Amino acid sequence: MTFENTRDSFDTQSRDASGKVVRVMVVDDSLTARTVLGKVVDRTDDLSLVGTASSAEQAIGLLDTVVVDVILLDLEMPGMGGLAGLPHILEKSGGAKVLVVSSLTAEGAQETISALSMGASDVVQKPEPGQFNAEYRADLAKRIRALAGAPVSASFEQAADESARKVDEPELRKAPNKSVDCIAIGGSTGGIHSLVQFLGKLPKSIVTPIVVTQHLPNAFIPIFASQVETASNRPTRIAEDGMELKRGEILVAPGDGHVSFVRDGARAVVKITHEAVASGCCPSVDPMLATLGEVLEGRVIGVVLSGMGRDGQNGAKTLVENGGIMVAECEETSAVWGMPRGIAEAGLASEIAAPVDLAHWITRRTAVAV
């Protein structure tokens, strides 16, 4: 078996301000894709291409000889294929993060969402002819750094946003003792795997309505909603204008708008909005948390799971100011501790824990109110 191994180039890579070089492997059966993705890594000072493989089987074998931080993985390959190989790659890579390379269209969405549910951390656009430009290179490098826990940019004012540096133990906010009319969940990079774990431990006896905002391309949302329904064993719908919260059901934000809520008499109903938000995300977690906090007068538990950036922090502040409760995923289980870190460092969280433990915590909080 022959591998394309560039491990010898590792020591020649220059480093960013943090001194960290991110070790990357590219797994794709297309020579063109391997070449394009490999060039992005080779031309970025703080990234090092330690190996490439044209199949999942080759990647698994190569992991015996190299140490990797991030693996770029195509799912559609001859032989075992990326999806079937993913559990073996995750197990053998010693904690490396997997970045799925996808067309970001409805075709292949099922496999991509399945991979994200199984433990892949993020998805990136598969390079098309002529797409190898500065914007594409910058976005890919940013995603790789975030997954590896390296600073996103040495010049950006939040350069250490996704860094691996330890912070002081955040102080927890005392949770108000009140009924809960909704559980609102937000996530991004790594958030789908965390969400599946969370929902899997939330008992069916909890019939509190659930709303989910997950950063995903719009073409992926129907498949994502189906995965959520399976993981939660609850009816799940994509949110549309005029829908109302229903006990025992889940609403999922569409991929091309923010799910917000307005008061219609005694009902809290959905209003899909498209305003610009501070995070630049669409859909954004901020409008969901802020409007639910206002419309339901704080009878909400907000959950922020793994994700890059600070989306959700502004909305969480509004929710808490209205008497709501916020919890966040801990650093140890987050693929990227960005979004939950924003909640924690702002002093908005009443609990910071792994997804399964957050589910147990919420079960205890809502048991009386259900």
Q: Please, what's the b/e burial string for 43-65 (b: 16 or more CB within 10 A of its CB; e: otherwise)?
A: ebebbbbbbbbbbbbbbbebbee
- Which of 55, 161, 194, 215 does the annotation list as catalytic? 215
- Which of 117, 121, 163, 188 does the annotation list as catalytic? 188
| Catalytic site includes residue 215 | yes
What DSSP line would sit under 84-109, residue for residue?
HHHHHHHHHTTS-EEEEEE--SSTTH
- CA dist 209 and 66 (Å) reads 46
Q: Quickly tell me which residue has 């048991």 as its tokens.
A: 367
- CA dist 150 and 147 (Å) reads 8
What DSSP line would sit under 193-231, residue for residue?
HHHHHHHHTS-TT----EEEEE---GGGHHHHHHHHHHH
Residue 272: φ, ψ to 5°: -80, 125
How many other CB atoms sit within 10 Å of the CB of residue 28? 27
Nearest to 295 by CA among 253, 263, 264: 263
Residue 44: φ, ψ to 5°: -115, 120
Residue 119: φ, ψ to 5°: 135, -10
Q: Please, what's the b/e burial string for 341-353 (b: 16 or more CB within 10 A of its CB; e: otherwise)?
A: bbbbbbebbbbbb
| Catalytic site includes residue 45 | no
Residue type, 109: A
- CA dist 48 and 52 (Å) reads 12
| Catalytic site includes residue 153 | no
- CA dist 233 and 210 (Å) reads 12
Tokens of 350: 């009443």
Residue 341, helix vs strand vs coil: helix
Torsion angle in degrees (nearest 10) through CA of 118, 119, 123, 129: -80
In this structure, the strands spanning 122-125 and 97-102 are: parallel
- Which of 232, 311, 350, 357 does the annotation list as catalytic? 311
Residues with catalytic function: 188, 215, 311
